[in-house]
Amino acid sequence: MGRDRRAPWAREDGAGPPWERRPGGRGPSRRLPWPSTLAVALVQQAGSHFAALNQPDRAPLDSFARVLLAVGPAFLLIRHRRPRVAVFGASAATMLYLGGGYPYGPVFLSVVVACFTAIVAGHRRAAWCAVALLWAGHLLLAHWLYRWLPPGGDGPAPWNEEWAPAAWAVAVVVVAELVHVRREQWARERAERAMAERRRADEERLRIARELHDVLAHSISVINVQAGVGLALLDEHPEQARAALVTIKAAGKEALGEVRQVLDTLRAPGEAPRAPAPGLDRLPELAEQAADAGLTVDISTEDVPAGLPPGTELAAFRIVQEALTNIVRHSGSRTARVRLSHRDGALELRVDDDGPAAPAAKEALPGGGRGLVGMRERAAALGGTVEAGPRPDGGFRVRARLPLTARHQEEP
């Protein structure tokens, strides 16, 4: 008969599809399908009554027949919660009706509805078994057991009349299977859309985390260095301490502005940013901030085209910013060299310092903090790479390669 594969929404307790569950996904709905069940019961009762008028050779509809015509639809009340019980119960009631020799009519309607629901819910084996048993029982009644069952004097049914009921049974099963397959496709599509939305949300969280890390790490490093300078010079050289405080104020103001821009993006997703994203044109400003922290930065470019994609410029700026921040925090060198070039359809940048590592940073260098991870994530998002590590002759080097192909020219 095939495997009893369940639909994606089917549960072990027989709970039905999503449209029969309570709001919020807290299990099956408490409401029973009364309207459809009553409709099936009325059709069976009324249809069998009129069918009996044209079949005087069959047994008349008595109270037992009326009960059986009501029992079959009654099982439909639980067809979403217990589809297997419903389909076998409706089939058993129909079999008893046929065994009583009562007129043929819409008595099979409850079996059709129960079978359709069971297959759509994923209980294929139960539905097929119920239909097969009902069909086998009908053949036994019509061709062998009719001698001992009412009505009296009944003869065997013609074999050529068996094709029509068989065709209807196959049609119902085929239609139910098609609906089942389509609902599985819808369920998979919904799951894929939900997964894509979660993936986009995760990527957005990572992007925001990188932005906040780069902005805060750089600005707080500058503030920390300048605060140390200010404290050291406060008593003996107050004017120089004042300059350090001015630098702290400027760095804090810039950090607040960039953090506010990131938060505005969170509050109103999809809106265009109020300020342009940082690009390579702000590298001199970055060098000035590093100079305020006591780091001299030499910037040189080679064949770098104008009008690079905004996403590439932002990634390059943040990588340089993070590299300079790491030098300020972790290196004893007071000079850094930034080189940008265009080779083989990619923007290559390199940031070098001559070291050595600061005493407080020696333990932190081997592990690589979140800054290096953020660099690699930014480059990977554009199809590029980042390499960072000690140089053979001493010092530290960060090298990045960012492709400039059309596939990677995306907005930040």
Torsion sign over Cα 221, 227, 229, 232: negative
pTM: 0.49
pLDDT tens for 78-127 read 999 999 999 999 999 999 999 999 999 999 999 999 999 999 898 989 99
91: how many CB neighbours lie within 10 A of its CB?
A: 26
**Residue 265 has what DSSP assignment?**
H
Stretch 184-195: mean pLDDT, rounded? 91
**Fold adopted by 279-412:** Heat Shock Protein 90 (3.30.565)
Stretch 363-391: mean pLDDT, rounded? 76
The C-alpha atoms of residue 318 and residue 74 are separated, in whole angstroms, by: 69
Q: Which residues contact 139 (CB under 8 A, 6 or more apart)?
A: 162
Stretch 295-312: mean pLDDT, rounded? 88
Most confidently modeled range among 36-45, 287-296, 301-310: 36-45
For the chain, give the mean pLDDT: 80
Stretch 138-145: mean pLDDT, rounded? 85
- Give the pLDDT score at 266: 62
Stretch 324-337: mean pLDDT, rounded? 85
Stretch 194-216: mean pLDDT, rounded? 79
Q: Which of 31-35, 130-134, 198-202, 266-270 has the lowest mean pLDDT?
A: 266-270
- Give the pLDDT score at 10: 47
Q: Which residues contact 224 (CB under 8 A, 6 or more apart)?
A: none
Please determine, for residue 239, whether its predicted confidence score (pLDDT) is greater than 70: yes
- Give the pLDDT score at 212: 74
The C-alpha atoms of residue 6 and residue 392 are separated, in whole angstroms, by: 62
Stretch 26-53: mean pLDDT, rounded? 86
Please determine, for residue 15, whether its predicted confidence score (pLDDT) is greater than 80: no
The C-alpha atoms of residue 377 and residue 401 are separated, in whole angstroms, by: 12
Q: Which of 102-111, 353-362, 386-395, 402-411 has the lowest mean pLDDT?
A: 402-411
7: left (phi over 0), alpha (psi -120 to 50) or beta: beta
The more confidently predicted of residues 61 and 245 is: 61
- Give the pLDDT score at 232: 76
Please determine, for residue 168, whether its predicted confidence score (pLDDT) is greater than 60: yes
DSSP string spanning 96-134? HHHHTTPPPSGGGHHHHHHHHHHHHTT-HHHHHHHHHHH
Please determine, for residue 391, whether its predicted confidence score (pLDDT) is greater than 90: no
- Give the pLDDT score at 322: 86
pLDDT tens for 244-292 read 777 777 777 777 777 776 666 666 555 555 556 778 888 998 888 788 7
- Give the pLDDT score at 5: 45
- Give the pLDDT score at 75: 96
Please determine, for residue 293, whether its predicted confidence score (pLDDT) is greater than 60: yes
- Give the pLDDT score at 66: 96
Stretch 56-65: mean pLDDT, rounded? 92
Give me the residue spans of the domains in the chain. 18-157, 279-412
- The secondary element (H helix, E strand) that includes residue 64 is helix 63-74
CA distances from 60 to 95, 151, 155, 169, 347 (A): 17, 9, 17, 26, 91
- Give the pLDDT score at 372: 82
